[in-house]
């Protein structure tokens, strides 16, 4: 909030400065108070998400790194378990700490654009709009022990810091060391949280290249070395953080890698399975049963897994089933043993392709965990893209109302011990989403159930707080589509104006400022 105080107080009288800061501080505390009414939803999911993060965090907290090695030890990013373990030592509720990280990211993003947006009132409005974004308190993503929320905050921090460096360089201002350091750390945090965080890399690289081009074109010999060093520093910090995690894995398990989904032999084996063409495809199924039957016939290594694989597995769930099958076959005693098995499997399958024993999809290219592109993917990809855009514009299906936990008492105890949050144990939500209530429900859309809930003695104020968050969600659902349309029009107008200005300069026409 100190950043925000400095930004919003710039060029303002002292009284106005204090009043603006006080208002933002009150709104921030109000936002945190509202979201603190949400309850945690505990989902075991066979130890692939919530429980896996918690188990890793427990091991880290007890000094055992990620625990004993098995097929699930190195398949998830390590940053979120580190975050949970650190939060456990701090002693704050996990859901609150995650919201505090988001508040910090919002403040940094406003600070980043301060030289570009001079009006402190506009900056304050932008901060409030960021702060009450319904995607940051929807129960689907924020009331579970999953990494998406922290990854989003780290990504916002990285992009904001990169924007801050670019804006200050473009405005011919010095770049403080805090921006590249924070960018490097937050970029590493996002990268080490999710395996698919590579999508942010092109943006950061492109902006860095543009900054370097600006330095070269301006030919400031004295400042160029320092500026180039500042621009390169985030990537050095990012590399150091990755090397540190890989080194810890090497010390604990004998493999210098941050994540086994990036292990070459595993990727080669998985991509070979994914490009088996049987003449028939099933939507959302990368490796069909028919493809597995053909692989069994040509690969003795894969045939060992036949007793442990069955049915048609949709989506990326097959990767988990594959790793579980390899573990059941006895190959996950160590990373070296697992890697050797996947190398043998990939060699046998690729040899079968070369001999014509297996048919490959035409023009297929191995791209990590991505299956070969097929023409049938075009329409679903477009539909999914449009659905994602629609979700981010309309906040469709966002709801702050908590959902009940799955019944697994041992897991509930672990959740509450590690996170200092109380889990919702009702068979139905204690505070129910108005859109899901039966028509006979009275009141203002909030009901209280008489179930085995730990919140039975909670005051009605808790439900009212969640109701207020729901009202904010409804407000965003109405306003944001209009604001998005206006933003697109403004962007088009500014782009056309920039093009016309450049053409006039090329023709020797002097364009007056403003």
DSSP 256-310: --S-GGG-HHHHHHHHHHHTB--S--BTTBSS-HHHHHHHHHH-HHHHTTGGG--
Q: What is the pLDDT of residue 440?
A: 34
Give the residue from 224, 253, 282 where a domain finishes: 253
Nearest to 295 by CA among 344, 352, 249: 352
* Residue found by looking up tokens 């900054």 in the block: 211
Residue 471 falls inside a structural domain: no
Residue 26 falls inside a structural domain: yes
Same-domain status, 101 and 162: yes
Residue 127 falls inside a structural domain: yes
HEC letters along 373-438: CCHHHHHHHHHHHHHHHHHHHHCCCCCCCCCCCCCCHHHHHHHHHHHCCCECCCCCCCCCCHHHCC
Same-domain status, 176 and 245: yes
Using only C-alpha atoms, the chain has a radius of gyration, in whole angstroms, of 26
Distance of CA 269 to the CA centre of its chain: 27
Same-domain status, 233 and 308: no
Q: What is the pLDDT of residue 241?
A: 95
d(CA 451, CA 489): 51
Length of the chain: 514
Residue 152 falls inside a structural domain: yes
The DSSP 8-state label assigned to residue 37 in this structure reads T
- pTM for the model stands at 0.84
Residue 414 falls inside a structural domain: no
Q: What is the pLDDT of residue 457?
A: 41
Q: What is the pLDDT of residue 462?
A: 78
Same-domain status, 189 and 285: no
Same-domain status, 279 and 186: no
Same-domain status, 139 and 14: yes
Q: What is the pLDDT of residue 97?
A: 94
Q: What is the pLDDT of residue 160?
A: 92
Q: What is the pLDDT of residue 281?
A: 80
d(CA 78, CA 88): 16
Query: pLDDT digit string (tens) for 425-457?
Result: 654 444 455 555 433 333 333 333 333 333 434
Residue 164 falls inside a structural domain: yes
Residue 173's CB is within 10 A of a number of other CB atoms, namely 10
Same-domain status, 39 and 176: yes
Question: The domain containing residue 353 runs over which residues?
Answer: 263-372
Residue 409 falls inside a structural domain: no
d(CA 188, CA 197): 10
Q: What is the pLDDT of residue 421?
A: 84
Same-domain status, 216 and 267: no
Same-domain status, 82 and 212: yes
Nearest to 96 by CA among 408, 461, 392, 422: 422
Same-domain status, 30 and 134: yes
Residue 62 falls inside a structural domain: yes
| Residues of the chain with confidence (pLDDT) below 70 | 1-13, 44-46, 171-173, 218-224, 363-372, 407-410, 425-460, 505-514
Give the residue from 347, 372, 397 where a domain finishes: 372
For the chain, the domain total comes to: 2
Helix (H) or strand (E) segment spanning residue 187: helix 178-191
Same-domain status, 298 and 221: no
Same-domain status, 301 and 229: no
Q: What is the pLDDT of residue 378?
A: 82
Give the residue from 372, 405, 429 where a domain finishes: 372
């Amino acid at each position: 909030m100190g950043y925000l105080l400095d930004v919003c107080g710039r060029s303002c009288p002292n009284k106005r400065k204090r009043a603006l800061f006080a208002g933002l501080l009150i709104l921030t505390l109000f936002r945190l108070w509202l979201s603190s009414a949400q309850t945690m939803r505990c989902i075991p999911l066979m130890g692939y998400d919530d429980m896996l993060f918690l188990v890793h965090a427990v091991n880290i907290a007890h000094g055992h790194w990620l625990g004993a090695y098995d097929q699930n030890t190195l398949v998830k990013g390590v940053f979120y378990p580190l975050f949970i373990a650190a939060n456990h030592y701090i002693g704050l509720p996990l859901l609150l700490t995650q919201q505090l990280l988001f508040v910090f990211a919002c403040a940094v993003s406003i600070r980043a654009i301060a030289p570009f947006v001079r009006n402190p009132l506009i900056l304050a409005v932008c901060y409030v709009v960021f702060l009450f974004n319904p995607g940051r308190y929807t129960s689907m993503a924020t009331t579970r022990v999953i990494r998406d929320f922290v990854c989003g905050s780290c990504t916002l921090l990285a992009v904001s810091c990169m924007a801050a460096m670019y804006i200050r360089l473009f405005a011919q201002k010095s770049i403080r060391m805090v921006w590249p350091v924070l960018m490097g750390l937050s970029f590493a945090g996002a990268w080490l949280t999710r395996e698919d965080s590579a999508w942010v890399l092109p943006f950061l690289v492109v902006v860095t290249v543009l900054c370097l081009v600006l330095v070269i074109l301006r030919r400031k010999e004295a400042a160029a070395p320092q500026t180039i060093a500042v621009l390169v520093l985030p990537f050095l910090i990012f590399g150091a953080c990755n090397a540190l995690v890989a080194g810890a894995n090497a010390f604990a398990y004998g493999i210098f890698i941050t994540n086994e989904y990036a292990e070459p032999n595993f990727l080669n084996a998985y991509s070979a399975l994914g490009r088996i063409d049987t003449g028939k495809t099933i939507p959302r199924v990368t490796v069909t049963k028919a493809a597995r039957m053909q692989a069994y016939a040509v690969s003795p290594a894969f045939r060992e897994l036949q007793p442990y694989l069955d049915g048609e597995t949709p989506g990326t769930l097959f990767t988990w089933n594959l790793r579980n099958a390899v573990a059941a076959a006895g190959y996950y005693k160590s990373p070296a043993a697992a890697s050797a098995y996947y190398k043998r499997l990939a060699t046998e399958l690729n040899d079968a392709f070369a001999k014509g024993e297996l048919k490959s999809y035409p023009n297929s290219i191995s791209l990590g965990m991505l299956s070969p592109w097929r023409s049938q993917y075009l329409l679903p990809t477009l539909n999914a893209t449009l659905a994602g855009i629609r979700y981010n514009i309309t906040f469709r299906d966002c709801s702050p109302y908590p959902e009940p936990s799955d019944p697994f008492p041992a897991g509930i105890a672990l959740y509450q011990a590690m996170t200092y949050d109380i889990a919702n144990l009702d068979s139905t939500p204690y505070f129910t989403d108005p859109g899901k209530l039966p028509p006979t429900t009275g009141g203002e859309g909030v009901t209280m159930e008489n179930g085995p809930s730990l919140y039975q003695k909670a005051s009605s104020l808790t439900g009212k707080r969640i109701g207020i968050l729901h009202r904010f969600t409804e407000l965003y659902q109405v306003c944001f589509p209009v604001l998005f349309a206006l933003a697109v029009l403004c962007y088009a107008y500014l782009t056309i104006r920039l093009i016309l200005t450049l053409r006039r300069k090329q023709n020797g026409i002097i364009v007056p400022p403003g």
